[in-house]
């Protein structure tokens, strides 16, 4: 059963971005991963890129001479982001980058001795961070969570460097799938939260939408500007306070919500296929919800 709550309801205490009450039995994995990813990222202090650096170095430790393109495809990382990542690793002296003799357009990447030493330190650091992130799970449950998350990644051989990395990669992969399904109507999955919140809560100030989605007001403003430009949302005067604006769905916005819900259902079906069945999906959902039981202590 799906339950809907208005952001003005006294029972509403969190985001409604999935269209299902958070923690409910039918919460889509994509929405749940977004919540876990957001919580881990918000709690992280220091170098949040350590997890991604470690996994790149880990791959190079066993696949020396890989190209940037091969790494990007293996890890499901955007090529532009991979270039910047390798630039940083090279500047740190952890990776060398040389043109391949047979293909001058491609670079071969090699792990340096300093890079191998850094990888050892990063593994220890990530192990400590993961222990805090997954403190609510037993060792066996933590291993199972990592196995299920790895099943959502494009490359089966991706090293399980950390739960933190797997959550980020699985979240980003499912978002790319959803965004691809919505590309023809010029929307992305992050537009779902504001549209759904306005459908459920009626006209609402932008500040309340941001609070309901647990994202910053600048991030909300960017999404709302895009929705207004697309004719899906209008800005009118707040009937409760004439000094501020209230956001409201247009008929086209309500129509587009139907498409986004259909895309979300397709992504959920894709998750079932990737993991092998509904039972595995329920297992992953339960473990991810356990991670949200208490704020992660990531330091």
Q: Does 22 score more than 80 pLDDT?
A: no
Q: Does 9 score more than 70 pLDDT?
A: no
* DSSP label at residue 161: -
- Say which residues have a Cβ less than 8 Å from residue 28's Cβ, sequence separation at least 6: 18, 19, 20, 264, 267, 268
Please state the φ and ψ torsions of residue 106, each to the nearest 5 degrees.
Answer: -115, 145
Neighbours of 215 (CB within 10 A): 19
pLDDT tens across 121-142, in order?
888 887 888 888 899 999 999 9
pLDDT tens across 165-202, in order?
888 888 988 998 999 999 999 999 889 989 998 998 87
pLDDT tens across 234-251, in order?
987 666 665 567 899 999
CA-based nearest residue to 58, from 176, 166, 167, 173 = 166
Local confidence band at 1 (pLDDT 50, 70, 90 cut-offs): very low
**Among residues of the chain, what percentage have pLDDT more than 70?**
80
Instruction: Give the three-class secondary structure for 276.
Output: coil
- Say which residues have a Cβ less than 8 Å from residue 220's Cβ, sequence separation at least 6: 194, 206, 209, 210, 213
pLDDT at 218: 87
Instruction: Give the three-class secondary structure for 160.
Output: coil
pLDDT at 299: 53
More confident residue, 222 or 293: 222
Neighbours of 189 (CB within 10 A): 23
CA end-to-end span of the chain: 38
Domains identified in the chain and CATH numbers: 1-46+135-299 (1.10.10.10)
Residue 217 near residue 244, CB atoms below 8 Å: no
Helix then strand count (H, E) for the chain reads 12, 4
- Rounded CA-CA distance 219/195 in Å is 14
- Say which residues have a Cβ less than 8 Å from residue 194's Cβ, sequence separation at least 6: 209, 213, 220, 223, 224, 227, 233, 247
| Torsional sign, CA 73, 76, 81, 85 | negative
Helices 278-291 and 139-150: crossing angle in degrees, nearest 10, is 120
- Rounded CA-CA distance 292/136 in Å is 9
pLDDT at 13: 31
Instruction: Give the three-class secondary structure for 279.
Output: helix
* Interior angle at CA 269, CA 260 and CA 185, nearest 5: 25
Element housing 115 (H / E)? helix 113-133
177-186 burial, b at 16+ Cβ within 10 Å, e below that, comes to: bbbebbeeee
Token digits for 51? 């997890």
Instruction: Give the three-class secondary structure for 237.
Output: strand
- Rounded CA-CA distance 237/246 in Å is 5
């Amino acid at each position: 059963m799906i339950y809907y709550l208005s952001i003005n309801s006294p029972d509403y205490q969190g985001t409604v971005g999935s269209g299902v009450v958070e923690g409910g039995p039918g919460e889509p994995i994509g929405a749940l991963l977004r919540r876990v990813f957001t919580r881990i990222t918000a709690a992280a202090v220091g170098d949040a890129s350590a997890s991604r650096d470690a996994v790149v170095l880990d791959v190079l430790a066993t696949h020396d001479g890989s190209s940037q393109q091969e790494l990007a495809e293996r890890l499901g990382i955007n090529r532009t982001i991979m270039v910047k990542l390798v630039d940083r690793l090279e500047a740190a002296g952890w990776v060398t980058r040389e043109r391949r003799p047979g293909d001058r357009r491609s670079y071969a990447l090699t792990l340096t001795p300093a890079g191998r030493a850094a990888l050892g330190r990063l593994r220890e650091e990530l192990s400590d961070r993961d222990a805090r992130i997954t403190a609510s799970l037993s060792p066996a449950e933590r291993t199972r969570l990592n196995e299920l998350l790895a099943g959502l990644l494009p490359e089966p051989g991706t090293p399980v460097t950390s739960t933190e990395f797997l959550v980020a990669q699985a979240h980003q992969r499912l978002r790319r799938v959803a965004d691809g399904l919505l590309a023809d109507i010029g929307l992305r999955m992050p537009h779902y939260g504001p549209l759904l919140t306005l459908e459920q809560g009626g006209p609402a100030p932008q500040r309340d939408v941001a609070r309901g989605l647990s994202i910053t007001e600048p991030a909300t403003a960017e999404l709302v500007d895009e929705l207004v430009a697309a004719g899906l949302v209008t800005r009118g005067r707040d009937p409760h306070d004439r000094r501020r604006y209230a956001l409201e769905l247009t008929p086209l916005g309500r129509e587009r919500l139907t498409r986004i819900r259909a895309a979300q259902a397709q992504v959920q079906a894709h998750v079932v296929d990737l993991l092998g069945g509904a039972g595995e999906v329920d297992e992953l959902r339960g473990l991810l919800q356990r991670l949200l039981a208490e704020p992660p202590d990531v330091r």
